[in-house]
A and B are shown apart, each in its own frame.
Chain A
Amino acid sequence: DQQVKQNSPSLSVQEGRISILNCDYTNSMFDYFLWYKKYPAEGPTFLISISSIKDKNEDGRFTVFLNKSAKHLSLHIVPSQPGDSAVYFCAASLPGNQFYFGTGTSLTVIP
């Protein structure tokens, strides 16, 4: 049973516009949510995270929003750049160091 879901396998955005990647989860016990960026044949790199006690965290062009009542989080990238083209994974973690990942969204930023 998939506890973290990314329902959009792919997304295309024009350079300079906003990219919004979405993620849903089912387990209300998750206490951290993370976003990773991955290029083919490489390991994922950490982008940004948010604690379950917050509803927004911002780092430069990247902002993560958490809506606990809807069990939904989103990653906003503004402005989008061609170098942002990659697969983005949403993840959630439980106390006890268990991490759960979504299936990923492939973002293409068109120059």
Chain B
Amino acid sequence: DGGITQSPKYLFRKEGQNVTLSCEQNLNHDAMYWYRQDPGQGLRLIYYSQIVNDFQKGDIAEGYSVSREKKESFPLTVTSAQKNPTAFYLCASSIGGNEKLFFGSGTQLSVL
């Protein structure tokens, strides 16, 4: 079955620690995205990548970093510079047009 796999489902971060959220897709999609959802809020764009080895900042990129070394993979690192990291993180992909986004099942990040 094709889809987007996010891992882990739950992640805990200690003070001053960097953590990396995994996102893998086997849909052969060109574009990949990271969104953050906070309670009662919509989805806010962190980073997106339209092709391998290229990515752009979204609306809330500060404190986050990404890489896109392979078409299938778009990991997100939440750095210690992100002071309020507790949120539900969603990875998404699209075939390259703007008609539809496909989402993974999400990672809940909490601070210890």
Contact = CB atoms under 8 A, between A and B. Distances in A.
A and B held together in a complex: yes
Interface of A: 2, 4, 6, 9, 31-32, 34, 36, 41-46, 49, 89, 91, 93-99, 101-104
Contacts, number: 63
Interface residues of B, number: 29
A99 B101 contact: yes
Interface in B63-110: 88, 90, 92, 94, 96-106, 108
Contacts of A34: 100-101
Contacts of A45: 103
A87 B42 CA distance: 10
A97 B31 contact: yes
A93 B42 contact: no
A41 B99 contact: no
Contacts of B102: 46
